[in-house]
Structure 1
Amino acid sequence: MPLDDDHNPLRPVIESVLPVKDRLAWALPCNAKSSGAIHVVPSNWRDVHNNAFLPEMIRIGPFRRQDQDGLNLRLRVMEEHKVRFLNRLLGGELERWRSDRDRSRTTEGERVSVEREREGDDDGGRVAKALRLDDLWEAMLILKPEMEACYAKTNPFYRGLFVETMVVDGCFVVELLRFYYDLLHKKSTVEAIQDDPILTNPKILTSLRRDLLLLENQLPFFVLEKLYELINEKNNIDHLQAVPLEELAVTFFDPLLPQQNAASNLDAQKPKAHLLDIFRSTFLKSVNEKVHEKGKNRVESRLNPNGSSRGIVLHFASELQEAGVQFKKRKDHDLLDVEFGHRTLRVPPLSLNDYTISLLLNFVGYELSVNHPEPFFTNYLMFWNSLVNSPRDIQILRKHRIINNMGSEKEVAELLMRCREVIYDLDLGYLYDEIKEVNDYCEWYYDSKYHVWWRSLIRARFSSPWTCLSLSAAIILLLLTLIQTFYTMYAYHQPH
């Protein structure tokens, strides 16, 4: 046994170093490029709204293995449905899958044998090929280094299950998107799919939409694309002529936060990281156009010459209303397309419930977890943080049908205010011009004593119909008294 300088055994030192060496051996090379698009949600974000990042029905990807022993009943049931989907895809043949779960150690000879079997099965594409588990597994083994590079934090303890996870979870996601699209467009499907307990249950579908858009539940999109290609080949479908997987995904997720023709907002030329990234991109078309017109995406400086912060809304909704700013619901515009002009703040309506809050926070979590060049939803959430400081602000926005919240106004206000604790970037990016105009108007208003006095009078005397009636009655009574006095004096000085 090796000894240290004091001639003591080094076994404790070696044992403590081995786990580190194991991590280093499994990690990417120093010169490898890692997109790191899929992250564990930071603990401070969980403090904002923990339920927004926890699955309620299904876990997807390698992160789900970390609490396998603590899975609740619904998560366990969905694990069984994953295998059911895979079994249906493979034609009911899962014997080899269950007898040999660790195929990550496939020998080179076995790979050659599989390739030879593929060559022998080649029929020129005239007949649909039977999809085998070997085909799926081999495809994932080839992509394994790229898949691992997409995860910013993965425990090497789960590396033996990594490929298995990609096969089972990836096939479930692709089949779910594909079957839902077929059922929605009334395409011919087998009767078993039409009676599927998942696809025919709207409540389950809503929960799945929400869970499949969690940041920790993402699979690299190129993995889903490869599996989709193999499934199309199995069904004798030309992959280049098939409905793009991005369109299948948008069709499935659109009911969560409906848009007009969301699929038309997809940018086919731009690479996609995962399903969360794809759905997020459908909200950015008009914002991207606006940014392109302005020729800038980020504010060059966050400080004014006098040292004060730039790009922050300094007034809440109640203060803006007091300053004479009107609120108006902006119809038929993208969610992020906020506009200010002629003392009117036009904001697209936002429906707030547990599902949409989870979606928005995961959008922001994705933008904050990577060096993202377009923090649009982060800017958007900062805009709401700056507008809301009390239930009164939510009440004003709800009155103008800009916010439609399912919970109490107090709960929504507290949630938005908690987000301030984790967003440190003062750069409002694409909303900078609109917010600057709001701030300039409010500065002009509060600098004028006449405006402040007049608005105070309006607020004090015309805050309700009853005060208006009382003041009107008093004015009329005063006028009648003056008229009576006038005629009395007139009759005295000008007798007939």
Structure 2
Amino acid sequence: MVSWPASAANDSIKKEECKELIIDIPLALEPPRWPECCIYRVPKRLREVKHMAYTPRLVSIGPFHHCMRKELKDMEIQKLRYLRDFCYRTGKSMENLACIIERNEVRIRHSYSENFLLGSKEFVNMILLDAIFILELFWRKSEKSMAQKDYILSQPCMERGIRYDLLLLENQIPFFVLEELYCGDQQNEAGLQNGKLQEQLLIKKDILVELSCRFFRDLYSDEQPDPKIGEVKHFTDLVRRFFPPPKPKQKENEKHIKHLYTATKLAGAGLKFRPVSGRSLLEIKFLENTCLEIFPCLNLSWLLACLPCLKSTCLSRVQRFLEIPALRVDDKTEGLFRNLMALEQCHYPFETYICDYIVLLDDLITTKADVGLLADKKIIVNELGSNAAVTDLFNKLGHEIESNGIFYLDLSKELDGYYENSWNRVVATLTSVYFQDFWRGTATMVGLIVLALTLWNFARLLRK
């Protein structure tokens, strides 16, 4: 009988134990995120700040909130009605529509940041119902006669709630699904043919984008989205495109400014705030006369404060202005910005211009006085009722947000440089104390004249 050494026996036991610990890694392991991915679950750190801002209340779209709560299930009946009416109106069969979804099922699943355990049939039915619900809703919105009779559109409160739910990041389906269903079989035929059919397909796609923009019109009010809006991934992405970004001028490796003075401090240093229209919401400009940069002593704001009639003359050009497009703040504003920022955090981490805009406003607004100042200047249209509510909103919007700050870097430097110029603060103090209005300015001038005459007489007496 052969006896093995004790060390060899121990090695054999250890090898057996190691075999049990080996992890079986599948050869076809899926990547952590597919290239098509564009719809995300909101990161936990953002959801914990205010989870209801990311949660649908009336209708669920897509798999993240599919049949999660009773109040969302009620709208499923309306989806079935819309599907029936859509098929009757367009003459398309449910089978053909379902085939379109089945053909794109893998691509649709890859558009989400998570895998779902829904079977193929259940997943296809869910996407079909949600997509047709959106298409039929948009069509009825464009037809006034239908809108007045529609269960949703005839109730402004419900329509507004549905519109809000459709922009939530977790409540999306890929936009290409809507294009496939809206264009029908032409989508495949156009890939094989050129000419007229392809042209008709492009027209149909443009019409769908236009219908989508009309439905979300209230979110961009006076702004008109670019007709060539580019490839739309979903509605959250579409709404983000309503607000074109400012052009950054940051140089490589340039340090970001972490601090900006508040609106009241800047106003106290003589900066004037002015609302503007017909411009992107994010296009904020600091206007300063070149001569004032070289010769700050030419600041004549004290004279304009005394004589407002001179503001229409060239003297107004020596004023420093911060032009900010007006922003309406209501009960949906927070949810809108939170979802746009969440999209940027997940999908556009190096193009966070919405996040940069919110961080800039958060810096300008620290107290109720800052909101009051901007509201008086018609820059903030406060529909929340109190300045404290608006202050709290902007102070919390930037929590847990990573912002690279490049889009407003130059603006921040200009504003900081303006405030830190001691001459600007001196002139502003003199203006507010001695030249606040016509009467105080007149009294100051009379006082200066009397003082000058007194000194002149005193000097004359000394000469004698």
Q: Please give the range of the TM-score, normalised by the shorter of the 2 chains.
A: 0.7 to 0.9
Q: Which residue is equivalent to 2:17?
A: none
Equivalent pair of 1:37/1:370 in contact (CA under 8 Å): yes
C-alpha contact 2:419 2:425 (8 A) present in aligned 1: no
Match of 1:279 among 239, 264, 282: 239
- Separation (CA, whole Å) in 1 of partners of 2:400 and 2:153: 37
* Contact 1:338–1:346, Cα closer than 8 Å, also in 2: yes
Aligned length: 395
Q: Give the conservation status (yes or no) of the 8 Å contact 1:36–1:152.
A: yes
Choose from 337, 341, 351 the match for 1:360: 337
Cα displacement (A) at 1:417:
1.2
Match of 1:493 in 2: none
Q: Is 1:91 matched up with 2:88?
A: yes
1:446-457 alignment runs, 5 A limit: 448=422, 451-457=424-430
Q: Secondary structure at the match of 2:398?
A: helix
Aligned partner of residue 131 in structure 1, secondary structure: coil
Listed one character per residue, the Cα deviations across residues 381-400 of structure 1 (whole Å, up to 9, x for unaligned) are 11111111111111111110
Query: CA 1:275/1:475 → structure 2, altered by over 3 Å: closer, same or farther?
Result: closer
1:223 aligns with 177
Q: 1:52: how far off?
A: 2.3
Q: Distance in 1 between matches of 2:202 and 2:451?
A: 87
CA contact (8 A) 2:435 2:444 kept: no
Q: For 1:177 and 1:356, how far apart are their aligned partners in 2?
A: 22
Residue 413 (structure 1) aligns with: 391
Deviation by residue 1:275-302 (Cα, 9 ceiling, x = unmatched)? 1212221321xx4xx63xx7x6x65225
CA distance in 2, matches of 1:211, 1:266: 24
Q: 1:328 to 1:38 in 2, by over 3 A?
A: same
Deviations 1:182-218 (A, max 9, x none): 33xxxxxxx7665112223322222221111111111
Structure 2 CA distance for partners of 1:69 and 1:461, relative to 1, 3 Å: same
8 A contact 2:270–2:424 mirrored in 1: no
Cα distance in 2 for partners of 1:232, 1:91 equals 19
In structure 2, C-alpha distance between the alignment counterparts of 1:196 and 1:54, rounded to whole Å? 25
SS in 2 for 1:421: coil
The within-5 A match list for 1:125-136 is 130-136=91-97
SS at match of 2:55: coil
After TM superposition, the structure 1 stretch with the greater mean CA deviation from structure 2, 342-351 or 46-55, is 46-55
One-letter code aligned to 2:175: F
Partner of 2:123: 162
**Compared CA separation, residues 479 and 154, structure 1 to 2 (3 A):** same
Q: Using a 3 Å threshold, how does the CA distance of structure 1 residues 418 and 182 change in structure 2: closer, same or farther? A: same
In the TM superposition, what whole-angstrom CA distance separates every residue of 1:109-146 from its partner, at most 9, and x where no partner exists? xxxxxxxxxxxxxxxxxxx7x42221122111111111
- Distance in 2 between the 1:390 and 1:333 partners? 27
What TM-score does the superposition give when structure 2 sets the normalisation length? 0.74
Which shows bigger deviation, 432-441 or 326-335?
432-441
Give the 3 Å change call, closer, same or farther, for CA 169–325 of structure 1 in structure 2: same
Q: How does 1:160-199 map to 2 (within 5 A)?
A: 161-183=122-144, 194-199=148-153
CA contact (8 A) 1:347 1:402 kept: yes
In 2, the alpha carbon distance for the partners of 1:138 and 1:251 equals: 29
User: Are residue 204 (structure 1) and residue 158 (structure 2) matched?
Assistant: yes
1:476 deviation in Å? 6.2
After TM superposition, list the pairs within 5 Å mapping 1:306-325 onto structure 2: 310-325=256-271
Amino acid of the structure 1 residue aligned with 2:55: L
Which of 217, 220, 242 is the matching residue for 1:254?
217
2:70 matches 1:71:
yes
User: 1 CA distance for matches of 2:388 and 2:185?
Assistant: 49
1:146 pairs with 2:98: no
After superposition, the C-alpha distances for 1:38-88 in whole angstroms (9 at most, x for unaligned) are 1111233234443322223211110112xx35332xx33322111110121
Between the aligned partners of 2:34 and 2:266, the Cα distance in structure 1 is 47
Correspondences of 1:365-384 after superposition (within 5 Å)? 365-384=342-361
User: Structure 1-normalised TM-score?
Assistant: 0.70
Unmatched tracts of structure 2, length 5 or more: 1-12, 15-19, 188-198, 289-319
The one-letter code matched in structure 1 to 2:379 is I
Give the Cα–Cα distance (whole angstroms) in 2 for the partners of residues 150 and 346 of structure 1: 39
Would the aligned equivalents of 1:312 and 1:386 in 2 still touch at CA under 8 Å? no
Decide whether the 8 Å contact of 1:61 with 1:219 is kept in 2: yes
Q: Measure the CA separation in 2 of the matches of 1:49 and 1:365.
A: 12
Contact 2:281 2:327 in 1 (8 A): yes
Given the alignment, which residue of 243, 246, 252 partners 1:300?
252
Q: 1:340 aligns with which of 286, 310, 329?
A: 286
Q: Which residue does the alignment assign to 1:80?
A: 77
User: What is the RMSD of the two structures over their aligned residues, measured on CA atoms?
Assistant: 3.7
Any conservation in 1 of the 2:36–2:107 contact (CA below 8 Å)?
Answer: no
CA spacing shift, 1:132–1:338, aligned 2, 3 Å: same
List gaps (5 residues or longer) in structure 1: 7-12, 93-127, 184-190, 304-309, 491-496
Contact 1:52 1:361 in 2 (8 A): yes
Paired AA for residue 82 in structure 2:
F
In the other structure, the counterpart of 1:42 is 43
SS in 1 for 2:65: helix
Equivalent residue, structure 2, for 1:112: none
| Residue of structure 2 equivalent to 1:102 | none
Deviates more, 1:414-423 or 1:450-459: 450-459
Change (3 A) 1:28 1:207: farther
Residues 220 and 471 (structure 1), Cα distance of their counterparts in 2 relative to 1, 3 Å cut: closer
Deviation of the 1:179 alpha carbon? 2.2
Q: Percent identity?
A: 26
Post-superposition shift, 1:418?
1.5
Letter of the 1:396 partner, please give it.
L
Offset of residue 477 of structure 1: 8.6
The separation in 2 between residues aligned to 1:160 and 1:321, in whole angstroms, is 62
Give the match for residue 276 of structure 2.
330
Partner-residue secondary structure (3-state), 2:381: strand
How many angstroms does 1:28 deviate by? 7.4
Q: Structure 1 residues 220 and 397 mapped into 2: Cα distance closer, same or farther (>3 Å)? A: same
